[in-house]
Structures are given as C-alpha cells and as structure tokens.
Structure 1
Amino acid sequence: MFKRILVVCTGNICRSPIGEGLLKARLDGRGIEVFSAGVGALVGHPADAHASAVMREHGYDIDAHRAQQATQPILAHSDLILTMDQTHSDWLNQRYPQFRGRVHKMLKWQANADVDDPYRRPREAFERSFSEIESGVDDWVKRLG
C-alpha cells in the first residue's frame, strides 16, 4: 500500500501542482500523503496563475502551493513517484537509481504518454494539461484501490 505519493514535473509550478491537487482530492480520507516537487524547481514560487485558475474553475484550490526541488530526502520519503514526462523519469533514474522501482509516469496506463509542459503557453495549454493529468490521476486512483 502506498502511503506517500510524490508528483514531479520541471519547475513544480504547473503540472505537478495540478496532479498533487487532483490526487489529494481523489484520495481524501484514505490516509495517503500527496506532495509535489520539480527536477528544476522554481523554489518558493506559487503555482502558475493559469494553473491556479484552471484548478479553481474545476473546484480545486492550489493557491497555497510553493515549489520545491526534488531531493534525495523527498524521494526517499515517497512510496510512489509520478512524473509528467520521460525527461523527469530519466532525470530521477539517472541521479537516484535506488528509487527506480518507484518512478512511473502519470500517463503510464495511457501508452506511457507524456503530459506536455504548458509553461509560458496560452491558457488552453493548461486546460489540455489539466484534462490529461485528471485522466492519469483517475487511472492511478483505480489501481490504488
């Protein structure tokens, strides 16, 4: 049973805060801790304004989010590490091979596809990322029981 799930993207301000927020909501009451980090985090920054707005429109609040870097202690504390694209999985597996078995992509159950980075792109890119991440979260929640 997974007790701690880490969601990883690049800057930890767009995709992973969305994934974190959706997983927290879907897993509420199950005793599973969900948090997020970035492989190149904009440490201390809030979620991107578009990410926050899209989440708010769907009934989620990620305004308190602050970006943090994916570090060895954070990874060691995680039972399952969900990445947004292959570059994140590769970065983690190269630097921290001891956690290789914990690293999986958010869209693992959808041909192991990547979630495109919406950073500095129009709002539509964030809406597309939200939909993809939501679909991946739903797949994982089904498998987490």
Structure 2
Amino acid sequence: MGKYQKLIFVCTGNTCRSPMAEAIYKNMEKISDIRVLSRGLVVLFSEPINPKAEIVLHKHDLELPNHVSKGLKASDMNENTIILTMTADQKRKIAEKYPETTDLYTIKEFAGESGDVVDPYGGTLIDYEECYSELARLVKKTVYKLNEEN
C-alpha cells in the first residue's frame, strides 16, 4: 500500500476546477489504487458540474457522470489523504479549519510551480479551455510525483 490512499482536489464550489482535475486524473491514472475525489469549500447546495466545464471535458473525451458538488468535511480526510487546492487562500482556509491536516498543498506547489489556478467561473468557453489546459499539465505532474512517492 502506498503513502496515499485518497487524493482530494479542492476548489471553491466544486463545480469547475476541482471536478475537471478529478476527471483528468482519473483518465490519466487508471492503474493506481488511490481514490480520487473533488470537493468545494463553499457548497451551499448540491449543483451539477458547470455546463462550460462539462463542454470542455466532453471536447477532450472526458466526463464525470452524475457529478454533484460536495463540500469538504473532516470525514473525507485521514492520515493517508493528500489534498490539493487550486489557490493558496483555499489551502490556508483548510489548514485553519482542519489543523491536523498534514498533506495539504496547492496543486501548483505540489507540481513544483507557484501561483494559483484561476477560476474560470463566469468566463467564456475559452477561459474554461485555458483552465483545462493548465489543469491537464498540473495533473500530469501530480500523477508522476504520486507514482514516485507511492
């Protein structure tokens, strides 16, 4: 058994960035036994994936069937969970709310980069496509790094 048993991608509402990252990861890494989820920090009610995010995923032959937004809860995490956020602010909020969380990084930090993954919410399809491209690159780095560590 590897170091991590669960990977959680976290964004704000769990309708755009984190579900796209989840779908990309699940498509790239089919042999790992790491359970991959996505969650949001501000989920007031369950929503499906953003229609523009869904269009972009579909364009790349990906899907996340029956996705419904879910908020991050303490029960989602244990000592074998790694959490990758889209922004430094999201990382800070999780660290404050769940101080026992040890494996917490921004996705760019984990991939050896700096900065945040910009939220395309409210933007054009091109904004969502640019976000997808950035996530695809970061998720690929994540898959390689986790395979090395696990």
TM-score (structure 2 length as normaliser): 0.90
1:125 aligns with 2:127: yes
Structure 1 alignment gaps of length 5 or more? none
Structure 2 alignment gaps of length 5 or more? none
1:104 aligns with 2:88: no
Note the alpha carbon deviations across 1:106-130, whole angstroms, 9 max, x for none.
1122422210001111111111110
Residue 26 (structure 1) aligns with? 28
Alignment of 1:36-51 (within 5 A): 36-51=38-53
**Paired positions, count:** 144
The CA RMSD measured in Å over matched residues stands at 1.4
Regions of 4+ moved over 6 Å: none
Which amino acid letter does the alignment assign opposite residue 104 of structure 1? Y
Once residues 44 and 131 of structure 2 are traced to their aligned partners in structure 1, the CA distance between those partners, rounded to angstroms, is 19
Question: How big is the shift at 1:77?
Answer: 7.4
1:11 aligns with 2:18: no
TM-score (structure 1 length as normaliser): 0.93
Once residues 13 and 92 of structure 2 are traced to their aligned partners in structure 1, the CA distance between those partners, rounded to angstroms, is 16
Sequence identity percentage: 26
